[in-house]
Amino acid sequence: MNMRAVKAIYFFEMHRAWRTRLQSIVSPVISTSLYFIVFGAAVGSRMKGIHGISYAAFIVPGLVMLSLLTQSITNAAFGIYFPKFVGTIYEVMSAPVTVMEILMGYVGAASSKAIILGVIILLTAKLFVDYHIMHPAWMVAFLLLTAVTFSMLGFIIGIWADSFEKLNMVPLLIVTPLTFLGGSFYSIDMLPPFWRHVTLLDPVAYLVSGFRWAFYGMSDIDVTVSLGMTLVFMLLCLGTIQWMFHTGYRLRR
């Protein structure tokens, strides 16, 4: 494996994030902090606990997932779209590197940035909410798996998009609604039967449920099912990327 190529792509993307740290790190942290203030302190103080957990603590995993998903997709999508936009992607594709090496560089950097942001948000949440992590190893596992999986999805979106409008369309119109529907701010058991079944079609629901189980030992969906569905979604993304590079979909002029 050509690790020099992987490192070159990885560190280039990481340096790009540092140059735009105000947008990449500071802005999401401030936005999520406002969620903690509004929903956790203002709204949560007037609500009963859910499954014996205070509302402010209950939404911590969901808010971390909301930021993690959004940043994973955005970082990976912009990371591969800009080389397409300026034409440097053809230099990468003509270099002696495999699809997996290209993927490791771009997805690895996008995942790293999202994980760093997720950890910062977790630490920031301690300023507003008293929460605990019952299963730290599972929490880290879901954090890594989510970042990698949705960075792959962002990579697919970046290849598919042929304009900045399309690049922003999927995260804004599809991913964010799915995140809210997936139980970030509530237990899906609170939904009417019809919407509860609809939510089970949402892949984000499995991530949020599994991540929340790692914190409090309770979940709306069995943790093994959540883990299995996440792995299936990751493999689907990986297969789609392999097909895109094999066929040259939106990569060849």
The whole-number pLDDT of residue 228 equals 93
**Residues 23-81: tens digit of each pLDDT:** 667 778 787 777 777 776 666 666 777 888 888 888 889 889 988 988 899 889 999 99
- 3-state SS, the chain, equals CCHHHHHHHHHHHHHHHHHCHHHHHHHHHHHHHHHHHHHHHHHHHHCCCECCECHHHHHHHHHHHHHHHHHHHHHHHHHHHHHHHHCCHHHHHHCCCCHHHHHHHHHHHHHHHHHHHHHHHHHHHCCCCCCCCCCHHHHHHHHHHHHHHHHHHHHHHHHHCCCHHHHHHHHHHHHHHHHHHCCCCCCHHHCCHHHHHHHCCCHHHHHHHHHHHHHHCCCCCCHHHHHHHHHHHHHHHHHHHHHHHHHCCCCCC
**Residues 161-208: tens digit of each pLDDT:** 888 888 888 777 777 788 888 888 888 888 888 888 888 888 899 999
- Predicted TM-score (pTM) of this structure: 0.90
Higher-pLDDT residue of 145 and 36 is 145
| Mean confidence (pLDDT) of the chain | 86
At 22, is the pLDDT very low, low, confident or very high (cuts 50, 70, 90)?
A: low
The whole-number pLDDT of residue 148 equals 95
